[in-house]
Structure 1
Amino acid sequence: MTSTIPRTAPAADSLRDTATLTGRVLRHWKRRPVSIVLGLLFPVLMVLMFGYLFGGAMAVPDGDYMDFLIPGMLAMTMLFGLEAMVVNVTTDTARGVTERFRVMPVTTTAILAGRSIADVLNGVVGFAVMVATGLLVGWRPEGGPVAALAALGLLLWLRFAFTWVGIYLGFLLKTPDAAVAVQVLVWPVGFLSSAFVAPGTMPGWIGAVATWNPLSATATAVRELFANPTWNAHDWATEHSITLALIWPAVLTLIFLPLAARQYRALGD
């Protein structure tokens, strides 16, 4: 059993530790710019592929498919951070970095929050890249600047929740090789949503699952805030998408943040 040094730090010390560890993650990104750039450009490739290769077959009521797609891809960009988080956590664990943190006088909160905050900052960059891509392909947000800020807030709220899912799975899987299994989780969650097509076009129970997908709630809410086209549905989830976009990340955070902290403390036991 690995021992750790207990520490009850004042709030100021905890904030300083969090900022230090956030900076550590950001400095590591500077050392591998190729992987960061590829991660940012992958959603752009998906926009081009779905928008121009498949977009002609997509029928969107009262609008253009690209206007429907971009908000969905903004939500998908928040989900893609989950895979990167799992890989980063498992890599640090395999290299012994996490174990060194465990024996240092640093709070668990600071260690985990540092990762989460850095990933949310990455989400801001991903949002900017996707918005720029959307504007270049003809997408236009029509809801005004206040609505755009609200949309950004909902997207980053979802990203924040997904960071805790990623941290928990990273500590659970422990090795980078095992992290590949997370793709089995990410892609079904992404495609079984309203990011690309309306749930109403799917078979009954699949459409119901897609409608209540947390990703669908945020994608639909963002479309509403940007005044972009959505689908003609009158179910509760669609009509209260902003409410759901607030609730789902809160539920995910309440579940996975404590699980991530417990899994971290259990490493080496």
Structure 2
Amino acid sequence: MNASVYDGTVMVGRQLRRVRNNPGIAILTQIMPINLLLFFGYVFGSALAMPGREYRSFLVPGLLAATAAGGVMTGMFQAAQDTHRGVMNRFRTLPVSRAAVPVGQAVADLVVTTLGTIPLLLVGLAVGWRIEGTAAEALGAVGVLLLFRLACTWVGIWLGLASRSEEAAGQLGAATFVLPLLSNAYIPTGNLAGWLRTLAEWNPISAVTTALRRLLSPTLSASLEQAGTPHAWPTAHPVAGTLAWCAVLIALCAPLAVRRYARAEG
């Protein structure tokens, strides 16, 4: 086996054991979307033009996208924790690939996210959400979701490695909960003010959410597009927009994270 691949595999195992031994943040990030689905689905649904069940079908893809965006928070927290507790310095003294440590964290996070998304999907099915697309479209939606999670995790790893302290990373990570609120994850953007609608539609979470709705719930997606045609290119072409956002974020943040990790001064 190639040495870099072996090193990366070892680091993935290390990250998975870390999550197993300290499952708090993983549990929190998976329980929160379920709580939001139950709360928003039965409270906000009655306040919008959509019937309750239709709103829950609208909401599930948004919560999936918001959960994927949570990779920024978890990536940042874990990288900052290792950096400021001296773990990264110990890794630098070992004869391992410089990319292995951040890559291991990113891949392990993807595994945890894949398993952790299952409860949200089951609760979504229980409250009336259904997958209306074909099997190929459903697999495409999974691919889009995991690719976006990977991109967000790389953003978080880079920010965590560059953070000045573990506390600062935690505070900044908590602030990322605002990002889904500035998107179409929870409400349609058609009635928002012009500048706010533009901001929401250029939010990467909006492109991912729209792509998931189009792939998983094409009927609902078509009715939403008729009610308010997206102005921004990423939401007008959501699958392509999502792929473009992911490519930009990974191409920018992955090399920066690896370079930051490789710096001897930490």
Please indicate, yes or no, whether the TM-score normalized by the shorter chain is above 0.5: yes
Residues 251-262 of structure 1 mapped to structure 2, 5 A cutoff = 251-262=248-259
2:129 counterpart residue number: 139
1:238 counterpart residue number: 235
Alpha-carbon distance, 1:244 to partner:
0.3
Q: Does 1:95 align with 2:85?
A: yes
1:80 counterpart residue number: 70
Alpha-carbon distance, 1:35 to partner:
3.9
Is contact 1:93–1:174 with CA below 8 Å preserved after alignment? no
Q: Does 1:221 align with 2:211?
A: yes
Q: Which amino acid aligns with 1:263?
A: R
Task: Say which SS state the counterpart of residue 180 (structure 1) adopts.
Answer: helix
Determine the C-alpha separation between the residues in 2 that align with 1:164 and 1:34.
21
Q: Does 1:125 align with 2:115?
A: yes
Is contact 2:75–2:156 with CA below 8 Å preserved after alignment? yes
Is contact 1:119–1:163 with CA below 8 Å preserved after alignment? yes
Q: How many residues align?
A: 258
Determine the C-alpha separation between the residues in 2 that align with 1:38 and 1:189.
17
Determine the C-alpha separation between the residues in 2 that align with 1:15 and 1:175.
30
Give ranges in structure 2 of 5+ residues lacking alignment: none
| CA pair 266-158 structure 1, distance change in 2 beyond 3 A | same
Is contact 2:74–2:173 with CA below 8 Å preserved after alignment? no
2:30 counterpart residue number: 40
Determine the C-alpha separation between the residues in 1 that align with 2:197 and 2:42.
24
2:143 counterpart residue number: 153
Determine the C-alpha separation between the residues in 1 that align with 2:84 and 2:194.
43
Determine the C-alpha separation between the residues in 1 that align with 2:240 and 2:25.
35
| CA pair 59-72 structure 1, distance change in 2 beyond 3 A | same
1:114 counterpart residue number: 104
Alpha-carbon distance, 1:21 to partner:
0.3
Is contact 1:77–1:126 with CA below 8 Å preserved after alignment? no
| CA pair 225-158 structure 1, distance change in 2 beyond 3 A | same
1:187 counterpart residue number: 177
Cα deviation 1:65-85 (Å, max 9, x = unaligned): 011000000000101122122
Q: Does 1:247 align with 2:237?
A: no
Q: Which amino acid aligns with 1:264?
A: Y
| CA pair 181-192 structure 1, distance change in 2 beyond 3 A | same
Question: Normalising to structure 1: TM-score of the pair?
Answer: 0.90
Give ranges in structure 1 of 5+ residues lacking alignment: 1-10
RMSD: 1.8
Alpha-carbon distance, 1:128 to partner:
1.5
1:209 counterpart residue number: 199
Q: Which amino acid aligns with 1:47?
A: L
Determine the C-alpha separation between the residues in 2 that align with 1:41 and 1:58.
25
Q: Does 1:23 align with 2:20?
A: no
Alpha-carbon distance, 1:209 to partner:
1.0
Is contact 2:71–2:150 with CA below 8 Å preserved after alignment? no
Determine the C-alpha separation between the residues in 2 that align with 1:66 and 1:267.
49
Determine the C-alpha separation between the residues in 1 that align with 2:264 and 2:194.
43
Question: Normalising to structure 2: TM-score of the pair?
Answer: 0.91
Q: Which amino acid aligns with 1:233?
A: G
Determine the C-alpha separation between the residues in 1 that align with 2:80 and 2:235.
37
Q: Does 1:263 align with 2:255?
A: no
| CA pair 120-208 structure 1, distance change in 2 beyond 3 A | same
Task: Say which SS state the counterpart of residue 64 (structure 1) adopts.
Answer: helix
Counting aligned pairs with the same residue, the percent is: 37
